[in-house]
Amino acid sequence: MLRRLLVFLKPYRLQVTAATIALAIAAGTVLVFGAGLRWLIDEGFARGEIRLLDRALIGMFAVIAVLALATFGRSYLVTWLGERVAADLRRAVFDNVLHLSPGFFETTRTGEVLSRLSADTTLLQAIVGTSASMALRNVLMLLGGMTMMAITSPKLSLLVCLVVPLVVGPIIVFGRRVRALSRTAQDRLGDVGAHLDETLNAVRVVLAFNHQAADVAEFGGRVEAAFTASVRRTSLRAALAAIVILLVFGAVGVILWIGGHDMIAGRVTAGELSAFVFYAVVVAASVGAISEFAADMQRAAGAAERLFELIDERPTIAAPAEPVKLPIPARGAVALEHVTFRYPTRPERPALDGIDLSVAPGETVALVGPSGAGKTTVFNLLLRFYDPNEGRVLIDGVDLRRADPADIRARIGIVPQEPVIFAADIGTNIRYGRPDATEAELRAAAEAAGAAEFINRLADGYRTYLGERGVRLSGGQRQRLAIARALLRDPALLLLDEATSSLDAESERLVQQALDRLMRGRTVLVIAHRLATVLKADRICVLEQGQLVAAGTHAALVAQGGLYARLAALQFDSAAE
């Protein structure tokens, strides 16, 4: 998993090279101190020459200056690389997630995706931007220190080499366990993010039902689970660091004891022993730091695994290798031929069962029926959010499985029951389906949707910021903005999903007027329970348990009796009738 991160570093080879050079210079200057220490003790202190101390001080300042400049370059470049890789990762994950099919989100929580985009990328940013460079620096210090130790005293260096297997073993064994615990900790953190996202998005419902205490308790349980998983990972990582330090510095103590006997016996000089001690400390510190980094790498591997799972996820609905082009100009003809469909999460029961439906260009057809009858599923298939298990869905004579989903959706407009308003200004929200629209086109769409009258009363007009989910607007105002968005898109096929069902009488009147303007000259499919929309439809199709059980005008269906007549008696106002 971590090797795959190299793909994100490839575009920045120049920065990686510069950072590596700066890192090597910084490591080299530290090693120079050991050689200088040996020279100062053997040449300066032993001979009692004061001028050598002066030269040593000047040399030390020169080395420090080089070390400071190299450290600045390394720190800046690796931090830049960490931020850059994290940003590119976030973009890659987000880009792939937005192209996944709706079925993916039936089984994956939005909060889990948010956690991976934030917490996991932040962890990898720290690895690339800090830990990796420090680890590489310590590797260079380790190799350089051991080389200088071998030059200074081959005998003592050989003893050091015997200790290496004792240190590497715990790193390998503990590292695997740390990786598993890191993945678990990140998953529990994802649970926290998912619950937080779900609760805050429904905060009004939480308050209305006085559910704060229960939600706080559940959130606390998830936080504690994340804490417990993190503590287990941290304790194992700390144990690894403690064992490595114990082994390394214990070995250094024994080696120094042997070196002290050699110096007393005259086999090494005081300068050589001092230099060896310096390099031994450098090597020991480097090994300790590398063991810490090994634990970080295992934690990062768990985070990378979670991110690349999202990047590797493939949409179940995609354009074929050679998509068929939809005819131009668009006519808006719709046909469902022997369509049977089961949702992936509910395969035991068909949402549509052998449906046959044909809608001519410019015709308005209303879909009615009880909840779960399959009305929304028809819309989902037309938008090619899913493909039917059996049969065909066609728009303008083209089987949607042979077309590019982007081309299909480009000629469809939808006004949902609960309009989606983004945290942006009014103009941006209306232009959502057509960002290149001119100001005149924007205003014309708002006027036709009956939205201009309330927009012009706002202090900032079309630049008014609407807040999260459009909280500054009423339900009717949000619905008229959704209609303006559909008008600006100018679709050949219009899908209306109970667009007036949750509005008061006055708002419904205004929205219905806007819908009447929107529906002119287009093919329209309406999911509706309200009388006004159903009566104006050219045809009403009655769905029950995924089957088309009746079709005709309002009067004909009422006269036939059956399901529609019962729904009409329950839902339609007798005075309006």
DSSP H or E segment with residue 24: helix 13-39
Contact 395, 342 (CB under 8 A): no
Lowest mean pLDDT among 13-27, 163-177, 412-426, 470-484: 163-177
Does any domain span residue 456?
A: no
**Beta-carbon contacts of residue 466 (< 8 Å; ≥ 6 apart):** 421, 422, 423, 424, 425, 426, 429, 472, 473
Mean pLDDT along residues 65-81: 84
pLDDT tier at 393, thresholds 50, 70, 90: very high
Contact 133, 260 (CB under 8 A): no
Is the pLDDT assigned to residue 576 strictly greater than 60?
A: no
**Side chain identity, residue 333:** A
Does any domain span residue 63?
A: yes
Does any domain span residue 435?
A: no
Is the pLDDT assigned to residue 543 strictly greater than 70?
A: yes
Q: What distance in Å separates the CA atoms of residue 299 and residue 118, rounded to the nearest whole number?
A: 15
Contact 72, 313 (CB under 8 A): no
pLDDT tier at 338, thresholds 50, 70, 90: very high
Mean pLDDT along residues 152-171: 70
Q: Looking at the structure, tell me whether residues 243 and 376 fall in a common domain.
A: no
Positive or negative: CA dihedral 132, 134, 137, 139: negative
Q: What distance in Å separates the CA atoms of residue 485 and residue 442, rounded to the nearest whole number?
A: 9
Q: Looking at the structure, tell me whether residues 81 and 126 fall in a common domain.
A: yes
Q: Looking at the structure, tell me whether residues 280 and 215 fall in a common domain.
A: yes
Does any domain span residue 394?
A: yes
pLDDT tier at 340, thresholds 50, 70, 90: very high
| pLDDT over 70, % of the chain | 83
pLDDT for the residue 295: 66
DSSP H or E segment with residue 274: helix 270-312
Q: What distance in Å separates the CA atoms of residue 186 and residue 178, rounded to the nearest whole number?
A: 12
Q: Looking at the structure, tell me whether residues 263 and 395 fall in a common domain.
A: no
pLDDT tier at 530, thresholds 50, 70, 90: low
pLDDT for the residue 577: 46
Q: What distance in Å separates the CA atoms of residue 182 and residue 271, rounded to the nearest whole number?
A: 46
Is the pLDDT assigned to residue 476 strictly greater than 50?
A: yes
DSSP assignment string, 395-408 = ETTEEGGGS-HHHH
pLDDT for the residue 2: 66
Q: Looking at the structure, tell me whether residues 252 and 337 fall in a common domain.
A: no
pLDDT tier at 39, thresholds 50, 70, 90: low
Using the 3D structure, point to which of 261, 287, 312 is the last residue of a domain: 312
Query: Tokens 């993190």 identify what position?
Result: 230
Q: Looking at the structure, tell me whether residues 298 and 337 fall in a common domain.
A: no
What is the Cα 443 distance to its own chain's centre? Answer: 35
Q: Residue 370 belongs to what domain range?
A: 326-411+527-577
Lowest mean pLDDT among 76-80, 128-132, 352-356, 505-509: 505-509
Mean pLDDT along residues 359-385: 88
- Residue predicted with more confidence, 16 or 277: 16
Which residue in 489, 492, 490, 488 sits closest to 442, CA to CA? 488
Q: What distance in Å separates the CA atoms of residue 394 and residue 413, rounded to the nearest whole number?
A: 16
- Residue predicted with more confidence, 37 or 143: 143
Q: What distance in Å separates the CA atoms of residue 484 and residue 451, rounded to the nearest whole number?
A: 7
Contact 540, 554 (CB under 8 A): yes
Q: What is the phi/psi pair of residue 504, to 5°?
A: -75, 170
Q: What distance in Å separates the CA atoms of residue 407 and residue 544, rounded to the nearest whole number?
A: 31
DSSP H or E segment with residue 112: helix 110-115
Q: In what order do the strands lie in the sheet with 398-399?
A: 352-359, 334-341, 390-395, 398-399
Stated pTM of the model: 0.68
Q: Looking at the structure, tell me whether residues 205 and 272 fall in a common domain.
A: yes
pLDDT for the residue 204: 61
Q: What distance in Å separates the CA atoms of residue 305 and residue 312, rounded to the nearest whole number?
A: 10
Does any domain span residue 458?
A: no
Is the pLDDT assigned to residue 444 strictly greater than 60?
A: yes
Lowest mean pLDDT among 231-235, 350-354, 542-546: 231-235
Q: What is the pLDDT of residues 298-313, one digit of tens each?
A: 777 777 888 888 888 8
Does any domain span residue 13?
A: yes
pLDDT tier at 91, thresholds 50, 70, 90: confident
pLDDT tier at 529, thresholds 50, 70, 90: low
Using the 3D structure, point to which of 264, 290, 312 is the last residue of a domain: 312
CATH of the domain at 198: 1.20.1560.10
Q: What distance in Å separates the CA atoms of residue 405 and residue 414, rounded to the nearest whole number?
A: 15
Lowest mean pLDDT among 207-216, 379-388, 498-507: 498-507
**Side chain identity, residue 128:** V
Lowest mean pLDDT among 188-192, 314-318, 335-339: 188-192
Q: Looking at the structure, tell me whether residues 175 and 275 fall in a common domain.
A: yes
Does any domain span residue 478?
A: no
CATH of the domain at 384: 3.40.50.300
- Residue predicted with more confidence, 400 or 419: 400
Does 329 sit behind a cis peptide bond, omega within 30 degrees of 0 on the bond before it? yes
Q: How many other CB atoms are there within 10 angstroms of residue 153's CB atom?
A: 23
Q: Looking at the structure, tell me whether residues 338 and 287 fall in a common domain.
A: no
Using the 3D structure, point to which of 312, 341, 376 is the last residue of a domain: 312
Is the pLDDT assigned to residue 111 strictly greater than 90?
A: no
pLDDT tier at 574, thresholds 50, 70, 90: very low
- Going from the C-alpha of 48 to that of each of 3, 45, 268, 269, the distances in angstroms are 55, 5, 20, 16
- Going from the C-alpha of 204 to that of each of 200, 209, 212, 353, the distances in angstroms are 9, 9, 11, 38
Q: In what order do the strands lie in the sheet with 547-552?
A: 412-415, 493-497, 523-527, 364-368, 539-544, 547-552
Does any domain span residue 510?
A: no
Contact 145, 290 (CB under 8 A): no
* Domain total of the chain: 2
Is the pLDDT assigned to residue 494 strictly greater than 70?
A: yes
Mean pLDDT along residues 24-42: 71
| pLDDT over 90, % of the chain | 4
Q: Looking at the structure, tell me whether residues 306 and 350 fall in a common domain.
A: no
Mean pLDDT along residues 34-54: 62
Mean pLDDT along residues 366-385: 87
pLDDT tier at 336, thresholds 50, 70, 90: very high
Tokens of 477: 């105002």
CA angle at 473 for the pair 467 and 477, rounded to the nearest 5° = 135
Q: Looking at the structure, tell me whether residues 357 and 212 fall in a common domain.
A: no
**Side chain identity, residue 44:** G
Q: Looking at the structure, tell me whether residues 122 and 169 fall in a common domain.
A: yes
